A and B are shown apart, each in its own frame.
Chain A
Amino acid sequence: MNAIFDALKPTPASYLKAEREISTGKEGSLRHVRVAVLGTFTTNYLKPYLTVEGARRGLSIDAYFGPFNQMEQETLDESSALYQFDPDVVIVASRLEEMTPDLVNRFLKLSAEEIDALGERSLERLRALLQAVRQKTAATVLLFNFAPPSLLNAGLADAGMVDSQTAVISRLNGSLARVAGSLSGVFVFDLARVITEVGIRRAFDAKLWHMARLPFSVDAQIAIGERLARTIRAAVLPPCKCLAVDLDNTLWGGVVGEDGLGGIALGDECPGNAYKDFQRELLSLRDRGVLLAIASKNNEDDALAVFDKHPDCLLKREHFAATQIHWGDKAESLLAIAQELNLGLDSVAFLDDSPAEREWVRMKMPEVLVLDFPAGPPTFRTIEESGAFDQLVISGEDRERTIFYQRESERSKLQTQSVSLEEFLGDLDITVSIGQVDNDTLPRVAQLVGKTNQFNLTTRRHTEGAISDMLSRGCIALWMRVKDRFGDYGLVGVALAMPLTAKRWEIDTFLLSCRMIGRRAEDALLAVLIRQISARGGEVVEGVYIPTAKNAQVKAFFPARGFRVCGTETDRWEWDLSQGSYLAPDLLKVRFDDESDD
């Protein structure tokens, strides 16, 4: 497969050839995704780029392209080819150039009121279309935003206008983001950014537009294909949660053990400024919620001295959630980091300047994502464009996560002082709040459903759209927040139950964020869930365990809580409410915000 990508050139011929090779190769390890594209221009030229760039990112994309400029026909009609295709992802590639040509071509003849009205009309059209897609499928929807026009109607003067054409379009993109955000499972695809990166002059091709209703040059088509593939990957696969970095020649230039604290390159002058900039970028990655860890072969004292004493070292010890500095095997270090942070190895990305270490880790721990490291000081672009940390939404919980882990280490210190687990948990003063999933909590709930691996009984990856659909079919959906005397962990648990019959319910999904494991909060969630099922007339609650490579720790979850084996099945247990209700542990304060009664 790699040979195909190595031979790739930026031409349609090369991508078409690669597309054929990929589709005949039938690599079994690729994740299959059905992608439908609707647009106001001929979108089917994007196919080879989407397919090849998808395969490069582990996706086998089966694409459907709607007929040119028939977005309404496709979305409003339930029997359309779009819905028969049964897509996992729907891409809405609409452009202002076709939807409201005057905003792009005759901007100066429009009054302020007309500009607002035209913008509003386009957004309304998209809103209606998106709502139709939302009602008829559970697919994730990606909505193109509006690119800067290829030419400005006012020419040089645009820059001086208060409500310039540029400003109006960028404001429309803000409104577009609000439209997308108001619908579950709808996300903005930043076409404007892709076109700007390619360069406006290079991205548009008037000849192609005139010949084929295709506005974009080959370079832009490739860039759009790449970014779409990255976005689709982020929609269907969870991101890495931890970046483990080497130290010498990665966080600073030179080798601290040989060059000494004053001899390494790190500061405001070249070459040290490249490393200082890179450290700043890693801090920004940490702000997104990615945990940083160290995997370095070094004398621990030498290495830690840089963090403690070097005036230009922006990263400090407390920024790292786990640290492995010794002369042992790096693959083992990564395993230790994953275990300490309660993560699977496939949630860990590894950055190291040494090709030998990278190769070693690739061989010994194929689950770990080994990042490229081109010659010279590291650049953040390589990390960003690897897609390792791509997420379509960054939630408040993501931004707070790194602080949680900092507290976690304080807590484990407390755990070693306390006597029994009960005393320890009592000491923590844990409060659990549970409530019904609504529009405000749905994005975070879907995020947890999409990425929780370990404490996850069924690992059913429902999207936002799918959960909305389940709710409309009578699903009981609960979220759980947890706080203790060290802080608020945010929304960390989800339980979904579906009625099988009027009296028999199945726990479809039951999961807990890994940082909550070991606090008995799951028992509180289970207790409230069973109470809710009972309130809805349920008499028997079935619990399922679907084994995966990651969730062995919850294998005995149901039997350990007094659920009885369900007939002859081995992975299914039941709680008969005639045997009594399920009680939450006394140690926890449980609050249930029940809004379903009003």
Chain B
Amino acid sequence: MSPMTEDRLCRVLAEVFGVPAEQINEDSSPDTIENWDSASHINMILSLESEFDVKLTPEHAMEMLSVKLIRMILEELGVKDFK
């Protein structure tokens, strides 16, 4: 099993967008994942809030446009453990 599938962030995105977690990497974005549209983006934001127990603002939501950026914002909000 690749290390990415154990990553909570990748697992949530895989569930929301319906792609295998193995296919998600730090550069994944709406440009590389077909199902990542404005509606599933909202579902992603809601699922991240619940998975990482954080509150995300509309500004956060607008900035979360790649896995790298999402991880950065979650870390800023105090998330340390992605396993």
Contact = CB atoms under 8 A, between A and B. Distances in A.
Interface of A: 9-14, 16-17, 20, 42, 44-45, 207-208, 210-212, 214, 218
Contacts of A13: 12, 15-16, 43-44, 47, 50-51
Interface string B38-71: 1110111111001100000110010000000000
28 contacts: A9-B50, A10-B50, A11-B47, A12-B16, A12-B43, A12-B44, A12-B46, A12-B47, A13-B12, A13-B15, A13-B16, A13-B43, A13-B47, A13-B50, A13-B51, A14-B47, A16-B15, A16-B40, A20-B18, A44-B39, A45-B39, A45-B43, A208-B46, A211-B42, A212-B39, A214-B42, A218-B46, A218-B50
A10 B46 CA distance: 11
Given A12-B46, A16-B16, A208-B46, 17 more contacts: A9-B50, A11-B47, A12-B43, A13-B16, A13-B43, A13-B44, A13-B51, A16-B15, A16-B18, A17-B18, A44-B39, A45-B39, A45-B43, A208-B42, A210-B58, A211-B61, A212-B39
Interface of A is mostly: helix
A49 to B, nearest CB: 11
Contacts of B16: 12-13, 16
B18 A211 contact: no
Nearest to A208: B42
A47 to B, nearest CB: 9
Nearest to B40: A16
A20 B17 CA distance: 10
Contacts of A10: 50
- Of the four ranges (under 10, 10 to 19, 20 to 34, 35 or more), the interface on chain B belongs to 10 to 19
Nearest to B18: A20
A198 to B, nearest CB: 15
Nearest to A19: B18
Contacts of A16: 15-16, 18, 40, 43
Interface of B is mostly: helix
A326 B37 CA distance: 62
A492 B10 CA distance: 59
B42 A11 contact: no
Contacts of A11: 46-47, 50-51
B43 A211 contact: no
B76 to A, nearest CB: 18
B30 to A, nearest CB: 16
Listed residue (A13, A208, A214) with the most chain B CB atoms within 10 angstroms of its CB: A13
B66 to A, nearest CB: 18
B42 A212 contact: yes
Contacts of A208: 42, 46
A44 B39 CA distance: 9
Contacts of B58: 207, 210-211
A571 to B, nearest CB: 46
Nearest to A9: B50
Nearest to A18: B15
Contacts of A42: 39
Contacts of B12: 13
Nearest to A42: B39
A235 B45 CA distance: 34
A105 to B, nearest CB: 21
B6 to A, nearest CB: 16
A208 B56 CA distance: 11
B2 to A, nearest CB: 19
A18 to B, nearest CB: 9
Contacts of A9: 50
A212 B62 CA distance: 12
Contacts of B43: 12-13, 16, 45
Contacts of A212: 38-39, 42
Nearest to B45: A211
Listed residue (B12, B40, B47, B57) with the most chain A CB atoms within 10 angstroms of its CB: B47
B43 to A, nearest CB: 4
Contacts of B50: 9-11, 13, 218
A10 to B, nearest CB: 8
A519 B42 CA distance: 62
By Cβ-Cβ distance, the 3 closest A-B pairs, closest first, are: A13-B47, A12-B43, A13-B15
Nearest to A20: B18
A17 B39 contact: no
Contacts of A214: 42
A499 to B, nearest CB: 49
A13 B17 CA distance: 8
Contacts of A44: 39
A104 B36 CA distance: 34
A44 B43 CA distance: 11
B65 to A, nearest CB: 14
B56 to A, nearest CB: 8
Nearest to A205: B46
Nearest to A14: B15
Contacts of B42: 45, 208, 211-212, 214
A361 B12 CA distance: 40
A354 B30 CA distance: 53
A42 B37 CA distance: 15
A48 to B, nearest CB: 8
Contacts of B51: 11, 13
A360 B38 CA distance: 49
A258 to B, nearest CB: 49
A210 B62 CA distance: 13
A207 B39 CA distance: 14
Contacts of B39: 42, 44-45, 212
